[in-house]
Structure 1
Amino acid sequence: MVDASALVIPRFHDVLGDIMAHGHTHYWLHGGRGSTKSSFISVCIVLLILANPEANAVVVRRFSNTLRDSVYQQVLWAIDALGLIEWFRARVSPMEVVYLPTGQRIVFRGADDPLKLKGTKFPRGYAAVIWLEELDQFDGIEAVRSILNSLRRGGSDFWVFYSYNPPRSAASWVNVERDERLRRADTLVRGSSYLDVLESHPDWIGAPFIEEAEYLRGVDETAWRWEYLGEVTGTGGAIFGNVVAERIGLARAAAGRVRVGLDWGWWPDPWRCVRCAWEPAERRLLIVGERSATRMTPEETGRLVQEVLTFSDAPGEQAYLHDEPVWCDDTPDGKVQMATYRRDLGIRARPARKARMRRLSYEWLAGLREIVIDPAACPLTLEEFRMKEYRRERDGTWTDEIPDGGDHSIDAVRYAMMEDVLRG
């Protein structure tokens, strides 16, 4: 008898229980080198095959020529570690592993061969388990959806595993998608690193690995955090290095000074309204609410502004419409909008006085101690602040120029804080 949990670091123990209970459909696992996420997934796949007689598994990498020396060997290791080698037959052409008592299969496919991938069939059951390894190498979330649509047929219960080492840039599609997955009820997101392994199973890593990691930690901590901890450290061109993604409770949001800003838009550029809570003593800005729209009249967007201004002052108290100023984009269209807000809705709309203040307001925000953004309430704002970078030349060098675009929430925040910027 083999205790499967003994093959898994404590960081994944609750995830293993969730998988076997089918608590979620999608399991999004990211981390640095030596984090054992791939070993963990391979153990889970074998266990799911044993526990579900109709389940087959498809393991996918971007390129088929990378399968044999990576995920194929990883699954064979899991079978051996679980003491099940005599119950499985493995072959390379076609690349698959067969569970002999039932004929269930674990097959390996490359995304560069779409015909083989789409034509994956099983004599018994369906592709209940899917593993997308080195996810960041795929062509984007649309390509991933296409693969899943091809494979997820013929059954009701599915387990989809995603594993990857996060790219440096917050703008990478997998890093953007991770933030989206955090908000999805059907997805469990878990990060890990070799430090988690050291706590319980240092023998799994070995001294040479640890020495190499610690050497890099000493000479280049940022590179160590990215390569070994799996942190999104950025490419070095991020404008806002002070952004923190964190749920913000009502009491904390109500304690700050209310600031509301609005960036005018129609289509394709959106209209955007953001509510902030300003903590001047700590030089900390909390971003607690957002609304976004396209092709809406001033009367319609005005109702959204009223929603932003409607909140309670303390937990348990009744929410009400606050009579706070709303600092607006003072373009010609923005002025028409402000007039409607004042005349028809009683909103205290004011021009932000943004002229020649773009660079200074960016620097003021970047110089704050923290910009804390609630990822559930303000996902669009969080994405913009994380992805905004200085302009990069073709040779890879950074300039101090701030490119335009992808900044609707940022502009709304700048307008909300413009009086404080000017005062500072």
Structure 2
Amino acid sequence: MTNSITINLKEVVGKGYKDIWNYKGRYLALKGGRASKKSKTIALRWITKLMKHPDANLLVVRQVFYTHRDSTFADLKWATHRLKVSHLWRFKTSPLEATYKPTGQKILFRGLDNPLSITSITVEKGYLCWAWFEEAYQIRSEEDFNKVDMSIRGDTGGLFKQIVLSFNPWNEKHWLKPRFFDVKSSNILAVTTNYLCNEFLDDQDKELFEWMKEHRPRRYNVEGLGEWGIAEGIIFDNWKELDFDYEKISKLSIYEPINGLDFGFTNDPTAFINAIASKEEKKIYVYDEHYEKGMTNDEIARMIKEKGYSKSKIIADSAEPKSIEEIKRAGIRRIKEAVKGPDSVRAGVQMLLDYEIIVHPRCQNFQIELSNYTWDSAKDGTLLNKPIDDFNHLIDALRYGMQSLGKTKAKAVPSLY
């Protein structure tokens, strides 16, 4: 089972990551745009390093535990196939972990939504000397990071200790920037990558970035080039992330269900948002979202049914009456078009600013939009009373959904989880 396997790493990994691959310092902070192959490269790197160092173990951390399965867990499993060593690894979903069969080394997966699962972590063999924070931008508390950082301590048998942080740089005000990118330290390697170093992209993917470069330059700088998002002129400062029991809150008579839908396809996503809101308390609790490009109307209807909202009132973008009718004929009978009028965007934004918005940790795309939706500005830099038409798909969906507030009798939301 331990027979040697010969592969060409340059062909498997590609170019642009040599310094990252060989780095042995304490902190490796890797920000990058979409399709920069950063997550895939890190997964390949960890599998290779673990097989090379038989006493090392890896802890993989995300803000929310359940998001591992379709991201880090899948990427690391993919890496074993890409490296032609999948027969040497065992991946389990209960508990979520991976084991290198020849040595018993472990890859452990944890979420910061359960701090006790991290602070008490131990390994049976060797040392827990490496950690990977994927989507590190979602970790809003530097103190939460520090707790895990402190767990990578003590004797490691001569192995190098290392924490890797990978993320899309949505907002320059995040603690990651001053902590890792605005300082010079021999213990830190801070790197930015983008899609231009990904030789595995096909022409269709490249065309999408070229479209973004021309039509969404601000988004292109962040998603395409991996540059920090700019927080100047941010609109929403009335929100916070909180793990709440929405079923319990929904039983209060002053709260009503809010469901909004914004259409997209090739360049923009279809955005479906679910919340409960109270006019009396001036609070909106956002607890679920769907954010996906390339969805047909049949697929949208199927998604709504699978989430349990087929009988719920849904307010959708009135710009696509044909889509609304097709979704209605597919069984979503209570979908209706939003009412739009002169200056409806600004008016809807002002209405949302009157509320405190509480966002469940699972709604990461909505949090990204709230952190990047800004007022437009004049040539002299003066802010205008008009939002930039970007980072707003779920926000638009919430604006539509809020039109039903106070017009229907409140009902309990479906049990989804």
Query: Which interval holds the TM-score relative to the shorter structure?
Result: 0.5 to 0.7
Q: Is residue 170 of structure 2 the alignment partner of residue 167 of structure 1?
A: yes
Three-state SS of the structure 1 residue aligned to 2:36 is: coil
Match of 1:138 in 2: 139
Q: Following the alignment from structure 1 to structure 2, what is the Cα–Cα distance between the partners of residues 84 and 120?
A: 27
Post-superposition offset of 1:43: 1.1
Q: Superposed, which structure 2 residues align to 1:59-70 within 5 Å?
A: 59-70=60-71
Contact 2:233 2:375 in 1 (8 A): no
Contact 1:60 1:133 in 2 (8 A): yes
Post-superposition offset of 1:189: 1.4
Q: Match for 1:228: what amino acid?
A: G
Over 3 Å counting, the alpha-carbon distance change for 1:95 and 1:114 in structure 2 is same
Task: Determine which of 206, 210, 217 is the counterpart of 1:210.
Answer: 206
Match of 1:328 in 2: none
Contact 1:130 1:160 in 2 (8 A): yes
Structure 1 stretches of 4+ with a deviation exceeding 3 A read 151-154, 235-238, 395-402
Q: Match for 1:162: what amino acid?
A: L
Three-state SS of the structure 2 residue aligned to 1:227 is: helix
Q: Match for 1:176: what amino acid?
A: P
Q: Match for 1:158: what amino acid?
A: K
Contact 1:58 1:109 in 2 (8 A): yes
Post-superposition offset of 1:15: 2.4
Q: Following the alignment from structure 2 to structure 1, what is the Cα–Cα distance between the partners of residues 33 and 153?
A: 29
Per-residue deviation, residues 313-371 of structure 1 (Å, max 9, x unmatched): xxxxxxxxxxxxxxxxxxxxxxxxxxxxxxxxxxxxxxxxxxxxxxxxxxxxxxxxxxx
Structure 2 gap ranges (5+): 1-5, 235-372, 384-417
Q: Is residue 226 of structure 2 the alignment partner of residue 225 of structure 1?
A: no
Match of 2:79 in 1: 78
Q: Following the alignment from structure 2 to structure 1, what is the Cα–Cα distance between the partners of residues 203 and 88?
A: 34
Q: Match for 1:138: what amino acid?
A: I
Per-residue deviation, residues 221-278 of structure 1 (Å, max 9, x unmatched): 222111111112413439xxxxxxxxxxxxxxxxxxxxxxxxxxxxxxxxxxxxxxxx
Q: Superposed, which structure 2 residues align to 1:110-149 within 5 Å?
A: 110-149=111-150
Three-state SS of the structure 2 residue aligned to 1:69 is: coil
Match of 1:14 in 2: 19
Q: Match for 1:50: what amino acid?
A: M
Match of 2:178 in 1: 176
Per-residue deviation, residues 56-105 of structure 1 (Å, max 9, x unmatched): 00110000010000000000011111110111111001111100111001
Three-state SS of the structure 1 residue aligned to 2:184 is: coil
Contact 2:152 2:161 in 1 (8 A): no
Match of 1:359 in 2: none
Post-superposition offset of 1:173: 1.6
Post-superposition offset of 1:396: 6.2
Match of 2:110 in 1: 109
Q: Match for 1:57: what amino acid?
A: L
Q: Following the alignment from structure 1 to structure 2, what is the Cα–Cα distance between the partners of residues 138 and 154?
A: 27
Match of 2:27 in 1: 26
**Count of aligned pairs:** 235
Post-superposition offset of 1:13: 1.6
Structure 1 gap ranges (5+): 239-394, 403-424
Q: Match for 2:116: what amino acid?
A: L
Q: Following the alignment from structure 1 to structure 2, what is the Cα–Cα distance between the partners of residues 111 and 154?
A: 25
Question: Taking every aligned residue pair, what percent have the same amino acid on both sides?
Answer: 26
Match of 1:37 in 2: 38
Contact 1:45 1:129 in 2 (8 A): no
